[in-house]
Amino acid sequence: MLRRRLLAGAAGAVAMPFVLRGAAAQTVTLNGAVQFSDEHAFTKALTRFAELVKQYYDKPIEFILHKNSALGLEKQYFEYMAQGQAVDYAIVSPAHMSTFSKAAPFIDAPFLFRDLDHWNKVLEADLLAPVAQEVEKRAQVMLIGYAGGGVRNIFARRPLRTMADLKGLKIRVQGAPIWSRTFAAAGMAPTVIAYNEVYNAIQNGVIEAGENEAAGVEQMKFYEVAPKLALTQHAITIRPICFSAKTFANLPKDLQEAIRRAGKEAGTYGRQVESSEDGAKLEALEKAGKLERVPFADREAMKKAVDPVMAAYAKEIEADAIYAKINAI
């Protein structure tokens, strides 16, 4: 019997696989992790993943999804999966994969996609397969599906309407180099701060702004400290559903097949959920008087400033072929 359990320790929960042989009914237990509560699109996608695996795998299996950052943040989840400990499956931003794959954060970079239609076509064409192969080879983490679909905007303490308003803006960005480079190219002063520290950093004046999709703005209550949402629409998220390759290798073949099938379908479900909820969440927050959506007039000028950086970075990390294919769709 293959089981995965959480063992309490000073460093936190650690899942250790072991095999018991005998006549007892076989049960597999898999541990997932997410930073958010039940209402978040990521949690819904991971819950759907578990439901689909159970549907496709007709033997005893148990899923334990640790919510609300109980096992840390996405960066830790990815490290745990790479080690084959504590977390078997999770949704992780590509920015947290940069240690193992320079190309991974590029698939989630600013101004990579023209709109949601373009974004969907890129995913349907499986153009990200080379990145997934590199991540699995170097990090021992599989990308089994692609959730996401949130349109990212800048939330700030003051209104931002033009490129001139962005000049020198102290803004938090994700840890991957492409984010700092592109935001600097647009005239801002980007800095990397842990996601769970953004609220306090704005409140204390360390930074003036951050950027996120509607689900994150709502969940983390960023509107309380930065109620002006500039509609820069600078990125559309891709959030891979990840699975530990070390865990996967120890699972029965029929369960492996169920996981691959469920991952792809749960990713599609997650994209539908987040992209459909995005506008509705912002509208509800604005109606409640919690934030103000501020039209941004210079999106094309911002993209023009960023494009050369994107092209140069794609060449630097040898992702120029993928970049060309994405632009060609």
In sequence order, the 6+-apart residues with CB closer than 8 A to the CB of 327 are none
101 vs 290, higher pLDDT: 290
Find the mean pLDDT for residues 220-245.
Answer: 97
By mean pLDDT, which of 70-84, 100-114, 147-161 is the weakest? 100-114
In sequence order, the 6+-apart residues with CB closer than 8 A to the CB of 151 are 116, 213, 214, 233, 235, 236, 237, 278
How far is residue 127 CA from its own chain's centroid? 18
pLDDT of residue 313: 92
The model's confidence at residue 95, banded by pLDDT at 50, 70 and 90, is: confident
Q: Which amino acid is at 119?
A: W
Find the mean pLDDT for residues 289-304.
Answer: 97
By mean pLDDT, which of 43-52, 70-79, 270-279 is the weakest? 270-279
To the question of pTM greater than 0.85 for the whole model, the response is: no
Q: Where are the domains of the chain?
A: 2-324
Instruction: Work out whether strand 61-66 and strand 28-33 pair parallel, antiparallel, or are unpaired.
Output: parallel
pLDDT in tens, 21-45: 333 457 899 999 999 999 999 999 9
CATH value of 2-324 in 3.40.640.10, 3.40.190.170, 3.40.50.2300, 1.20.1250.20: 3.40.190.170
Task: Tell me which DSSP letter residue 161 carries.
Answer: -
Find the mean pLDDT for residues 126-137.
Answer: 92
